[in-house]
Amino acid sequence: MKLATLLTPEQIVLDMSSESHWEAIVELVDHLVGIGRLDAALREELLEALKKREEQVSTGIGYGVAIPHAFSEKVEKVAAVFGRSHEGIDFEALDNAPVHFVVLFIVPKKDYHLHLQTLAAIAKMFTNCEVRERLAVAEDRGEIQQILAGRAPKSTA
């Protein structure tokens, strides 16, 4: 499943304020709650699930990208959010580089296979240096969504 199919423009945070790994996860979960994509009553339970996942191994996959994710029996469909940090976040990434792009998603437990497909698609997309460069300079949510969908014009430089 393509990331762009999981995101609306309101599910994109252009400039995250978080400086640490955990703050970033809380910021993005709170964003999903704030826009009504996650039930506020599930906030603590979902944060706990994300924390347990992060304690296994950091979801900072390298290339300035982190993909925190968790499962829940209480969500009906995938809830996703994309966050960008110009300053970079210490995510304890595998390559020790600061993270500039965070893709957080919560998957219904019944859709485990979807989780694997989504992780693979996101990881593959972000290994492309040009995609990361274009996301770094995108000026608005619509442009980011177009890049994630693979529809934005490529740079001519």
Q: Is 21 a catalytic residue?
A: no
145: helix, coil or strand? helix
Helix, strand, coil percentages for the chain (3-state, nearest 5): 45, 20, 30
How far apart CA 30 and CA 38 sit, in angstroms, is: 9
The answer to whether 111 and 73 are in contact (CB under 8 A) is no
157: helix, coil or strand? coil
- Phi then psi for residue 2, to 5 deg, are -75, 140
- Identify the DSSP state of 90: B
104: helix, coil or strand? strand
**Catalytic residue from among 31, 69, 100, 115:** 69
How far apart CA 114 and CA 65 sit, in angstroms, is: 20
* 72 CB neighbour count, 10 Å cutoff: 17
Q: Which residues are annotated as catalytic?
A: 69
